[in-house]
Structure 1
Amino acid sequence: MSVLNTVPFEKFHGTGNDFFVVDAEDPVPDRPAFARAHCDRDGGIVLNESERVGADGVLFLALEDRYDPPRVVMTLVQPDGSVAAMCGNGARVAAAWAAERTGSDQIMIDTPAGTRRAIVEDDDVTVEMGVPMFAPRDVPADSGEPLVETEIEGLTVTAVNTGVPHAVAFVEDVDDVDLEAVAPAVRHAPIFPEGANVTLASPDGEGGFDQRTFERGVEGETQSCGTGAVAVVAAAKRLGLVEGDDPVRVSPPGGDLSVTVPDEGSALLGGPAVREGAGEADTVFRER
């Protein structure tokens, strides 16, 4: 195929959850095709001779700086071309990107799952994540009652929506589970009409949890998943594994996140959001 034009992009990551960021003012005629091509872990973009090829998604961001605090409209297109309603690490990256342009330490992020407030302190970004929802209609799940410690395709899970649906399984050691083998059956289980992210968690012995997540739309494990981290703590509270409103450390492979799930009000997700570099990406392709 021959390239017709290009668009500038930046690369950010939040605890290893990496994204290409494109200003929505720059035209990309086919966003799903753009994401599928450039996020591919085998043939996608390689930035600054990094060992990591591709990314976990493309954030198309529209800055509206006439508001106080500034607003950014976030659209996350995943590697399979689908649009995710919410992404915790993506929202933190969006806030960092907007803060760079406005100098504001508070950013409002408009997502398909609702508007979220973010606080930016240097490289650390904390974002509101909404109230976790367990009701079957909210997950969604084809069930007459909440799925709490329910066996689904051989895995005992608790289902919760933290912006997107998660099936959370608490295990003795997340590293002892072959996630790529067990997750797809749960992710595609008929009880989840829109599919589900599959998140494993195990207590770290210090009041926090280790985490691994197989992400819907990525169709594989990611180095970090913010909605998954919030789902871990929300499910842990539901099961009585944690109590109170104090922050809980959740550790996916990419680094530590801070999660607060209060008894009332919005959950909070905090952690680093780091700019890795910038480049130009092909936007339109034509078959030869």
Structure 2
Amino acid sequence: MNTDRSPGRGPGPGAEALLIRAAMEETAESAPSLPDLVPVALVQGRRRRNRARAVGAGVTGVVALGVFGALLPMWGSGGDAQTARTGSAASQTATPSPAATGRPAPTPVHIEPTAGETSMADLPPAERARQEEFQQQVAVLLDELLPARLGTVRPVDLAVDRYQGGSDGNTFPVIFSVRPQADPGDAGADPPCQDTPSKGFRCRTVMLPDGIKVRSFSAVGNQKGSQAITGVGLSFTYGRSSVRLSVDGDDSSMVSAPVTVDQLLHAARDPRTLKLVKYADGHPMEDKEHSVRGG
């Protein structure tokens, strides 16, 4: 896996930009644009510019999702990709480029899909551009709201819900998912939110603005001998979607997620986060959930 796209795959950057711009102009009037949060993040995030943090040279992609891959299988991007791949004209919405704000867009992490796996490269050009713009805005916002020790938050080009932080050679998988809820009867209710100390699982329910009830939790993931890594996450319902936000530890180096539950809740409470959730709920980019919710 590389952090840069392999050469010789499709047109050069200039030609690709022209193709995407043309596709976006054809669909620009089909639905409202994404909320442009980058200028706000630029002003409020300047203090982070001087922080000594960078993704280590050894960071080449997102590691397995550890605890959350086990506890919440629906957090991944698996399943039938047809819904998100085709979409309606209303869902293929052109959005302003971060370049117009004077702030460079975060460089995506490239992960080569495995055999039989799809990626964002398989999307129609206009839909791919829309999802990439959404990822960039999410990454910029999370980079501002989450602690600096997480490292630079970058989108992952494998799926719209995938991101990663990285610092000191460690890679921390991040999930920001707004997935349409399953049809009635296709998914069960969440289990009670209660601690399970024997399994290293702690859960509590808190309220976000507008009366949104959130289940937040921390859980022990991978264990090697006396070492164990911990990840944090939260979930809530917004409109017709199930929202998930999590940060996991680095399985390879056995380093826990450098984010606390309270810090994750701080990010979720921010009005700009809910604004992005609202957009994704109204203009879905992920497949409808089809497994039992939990966590």
TM norm. shorter chain > 0.5 = no
Q: TM-score range by the shorter chain?
A: under 0.3
Structure with more strand by fraction:
1
Q: Normalising by structure 2, what TM-score? A: 0.25
